[in-house]
Amino acid sequence: MSVEHMAMVFAAEGLDGGEKLLLLAYTNYTDPNGYCWPSEQRLADDCGTSVSTVARQKRSLKGKKLLASVRRINPRTGEPISNLSRVNLPLLASMRRPDRKYDDNLMQQITFDENDGSDLLKCHSDGYPLPDRQVPPSKMTGTPCQSDSQSLTDPPREPVEIPVDGRSPATSGSRAARAGGSAASGNSKPTFSREQRRQYDAFVAALPAPLKALVPNGLPKPLVDAVLAATDYSSSEGRTVEQLVEYRLMPKWDKHYSRRDQAGPIEKPVGVLVAMLRRDNECQDPRCDERTNVDTGQPCISCEQRVIGKRAERAAAEAGSAPEPVPAPEPRREPVQRSAAPVPPPREAAITEVSDQQRSLARAAVLANRSKNRASRMPR
């Protein structure tokens, strides 16, 4: 069925060359219902263009309702895989251009005789014979139009001068240096690999017009590093280009930076882009960007729970029913150990013996006191 679908693309009108080329690449893999799942890298190789060009033409086809895509994730590893796409075959069939009669029968004009084919130089490409003369062997320059080997969306190559003697133009040495502007010195090495540059180009191509206007020419290292880190699929925080633009960049742009752009040119666009690419660690879920789960497109559950908790605390504070802070317990006082009263030393068991004379004197003193007391109590 893919051959029939490709024929529908050839017969469709209302498509430019780049759109038709990419749609031909898609229909080369479609099933009878228009489903296919080629990766953007495969499509870029089939079309002879870059991944950024494929992404740009893909958005154009989606805008014309000729193509729809659904993101897919490997259920075992969680890594993104090629998107599932579908070509709108009924709409494509309705775009068939009216039949037209073409006068392109050259069977009688171009023949292959036993000569060296010089009669081909005597025929015009539209079938009108030129005068019977040879084309002068003067120097030839390439026309500014695109050749068949070029992409329909890439800029045309500059004309190349072909010498009269048929030799190829020099590709090395001083002549090549003059033709290209400078010769390779061998000291400069590319900062980024081809795959990294392709990944960065895909990111730039996916940006909307306001953000794309901030991207400077060349390869600014801080910006490229930020893009590579944000699209690192080996990390749990890695995003696809579409996820970055839809769930991280555009919300931040609309919330913080669009007003600055309206007020005047942003002074440090690279710094702004790097700041927008940096993920906010407010939520602990690595698949959350700006309170949205990038895999499902639904609000983040963790963020919703955090918002509900904050609202409950705020409502309790406004109603005055917030629980009073519990006072800190007083330090426990240990009982004071009071010292016991001094214990008198035990009395000696043996009493010091008193001499008999001392005992007699004491007894006599006692008797004298008693007699004195009696005499004082008697009436006179």
- Looking at residue 328, what is its pLDDT? 55
pLDDT in tens, 74-110: 888 888 888 899 999 999 999 999 888 877 665 556 6
**Mean pLDDT of the region 3-10:** 90
pLDDT in tens, 221-252: 999 999 999 998 788 888 898 998 999 999 98
Rounded to two decimals, the pTM is 0.36
Mean pLDDT of 57-73: 91
Of 20-29, 89-98, 209-218, minimum mean pLDDT range: 209-218
Look at 173 and 297; give whichever has higher pLDDT.
297
Looking at per-residue pLDDT, the higher value among 377 and 56 belongs to 56
CA distances from 326 to 49, 228, 308, 323 (A): 70, 51, 25, 8
Q: Who has greater pLDDT, 47 or 260? A: 47
Out of 124-138, 142-156, 351-365, give the one with best mean pLDDT: 351-365
Per-residue pLDDT, averaged over 144-170, amounts to 43
What's the pLDDT tens digit per position in 177-199? 444 444 444 445 557 888 888 88
Q: How much is the pLDDT for 268?
A: 86
pLDDT band at 19 (very low <50, low <70, confident <90, very high): very high
Quick one: which of 29, 24, 28, 53 has its CA closest to 41? 53
Judged by average pLDDT, the poorest of 91-100, 288-297, 300-309, 342-351 is 342-351
